[in-house]
Structure 1
Amino acid sequence: MEWIIVLFFFLFGLVIGSYLNVAIYRLPLHLSTAKGRSFCPQCHHTLSALDLVPLFSWLGLRGKCRYCRAPISPRYPLIESLTGILYAGCGYFYGPTPEAILHCLFLSILVVMAMIDWDTMEIPDRLSVFILMLGVAALALNPASIPIRVLGALIISVPLWILSRFNLMGGGDVKIMCAAGFYLGAPLVMTAFVLSSFVGALAALYLMIHKKKDRKSEIPFGPFLAVGLTLSVYWGNTLIQAYLSLF
C-alpha cells in the first residue's frame, strides 16, 4: 500500500510539473499562468492535449514540436520528472496527510523559484506570498507553533536583509527565507540555510575552477536555497537530532 501511495504522488507530481513549466516561462513575462492555452514558444501554435501529456509527449515527439519541428528543451521533461520525484518523496516520508500536501505545494514553489532565479537573477514576490499562505495553512493545523514560526521568519531573513543593504544578498532571497522560515519554523529553516550555504559554496568553487568564473561573477543563490529547503523538508529533523546527539 505504501508504494501505491508513493506512485500516486509521483504521477500527480508529473501533472503538476507540467504546470510548473508554464509558470516558469510565463511569470517573468508577466503573463497569466491560469488563462490562455499552452503554445509552442517558437511557432506559437496552440498545443493539443496529446502534446501536453507530462513526460510522455516529449518522448513521443522525440523532443521536437509537432507543428514546426523546433527542438523542445529537455528541461521541460526534467522539471516534470523532478516534480514527480519530489512529490513521491513527500508521499514516502509523510504519507497521505495534509502535511504531505502542504510540503508538495511548498516544493513546487521552490522549483519555480529556483528556475526563474537561475534564468533571470530575480525572484517574483508572489512566490514568497504563496509560501506565506502555506505557512498560515500549516499554522491552522498546529496553532501552538506560532512562536517557532515567527522566530523562523526572522532568524535568517534579518541577517540576510542586513547583507542586502550592502548588495551582498538579493532582496528576493530575503523574502523567500522569511516566508520559508514562517512555513518551516526556526530549526528547519536554520538547517536549510546551512545546507544551502554548503551546496552553494561547493558550486561556486566548481565554477571558479572549471568554468573560469571569478569571485565577482554573479551566481543566483535561489537555486541553492531551494536545495537546502528541500533537503530540510525530508531530512531536516533527522539532521538536527544527529547534531544534538553529539553533545
Structure 2
Amino acid sequence: MRDPAGPALAAWLDDLHAWDAARGGDGPATIAYGDHPEQVADLWLPDGVAAPPVVVSLHGGYFAAAFGRDLHDPMARELARRGFAVWNVEYRRTGTGGLRETTGDVWAAVDALPEVGAGPVAVVGHSAGGFLAEWLASHPRVGLVVPLAGALDLAAVVRAGWDSGAVSAWLGAGPDDDPALYAAADLRRRLPGSADRVLVHGTADTRVGVELSRAYAALTGAELVELPDEGHFGFLDPREPAFETVVAVLDRWRGSGPG
C-alpha cells in the first residue's frame, strides 16, 4: 500500500484498530520489566502451542510520546494466531528518555522476557523500532533481527527531514549540533552482532527512504527484501501483502529450528 498522509493516515489507523478489535479473542498479559510506567510489555500467547517461537515486537513513531505499542496490536494478535508468542514492548520516548534510556529499556525488556519458548528469539521492529531491533543484534537471546522500513541511520533521517524533527527532539540535538551523540547512536559501531538479519523495505516509502536499508545491507551482508511500490505502513496491517512478507520471514526462521 502507498503511504497515506495527514488525516488519511489517522483514518487508516482508526480503521485498522477497529477491524482488529472486532476480531475479538483473548488479549495479552501486560507485564512490567522495570519500575518506570513505560517499562512494560504485552505478552501475546498462541493457543495450544507448547514452547512457541518468540517474537519481540518494537514499534516505531520516531520515538515520539504520541506513538505507543498499540500500533503493533494487530500484528501481535495475528502472529499469535499463527503460532508465535509475541512480546510487544513499550519503552521510554521523548520527554521521558533519550538514547541511553530507550536503548536500555529494549535491552532490559529482552532480559526480562518470560520463559515461554525455547531457543533464541526474533526481534521485529518497524521504522524507529527497526533501529532498536538492530541495536539488539548483539543481545545473547536474539537470533534474528527483522527491521521493517528501519530508520537505520539517524543522522541521515534527520538530514532528509523524514522525521519532521522528532529524532532531534528525542536526542535533544541535531547531528551537526552534537556529532558525538549521533556517533554513539551509530549502529555501525555495534557491528557485527551475533544475530542474523533480514531487512524488509518498500521502494515507495516516504517516511524512511529505502536507501537506508540498501546501504546497511551492503555494509553488513544482510539479506534485503525490497517490496516494489510498497510504502511505510503496510507491515502493520495483517490484511496487507507487506505483512505476509513479515510472516514468511518468520516462518522460514521458525522452520529452520531456532536454537
TM over 0.5: no
More helix as a share of residues: 1
What TM-score do the two structures reach when normalised by structure 1? 0.29
What TM-score do the two structures reach when normalised by structure 2? 0.28
More strand as a share of residues: 2
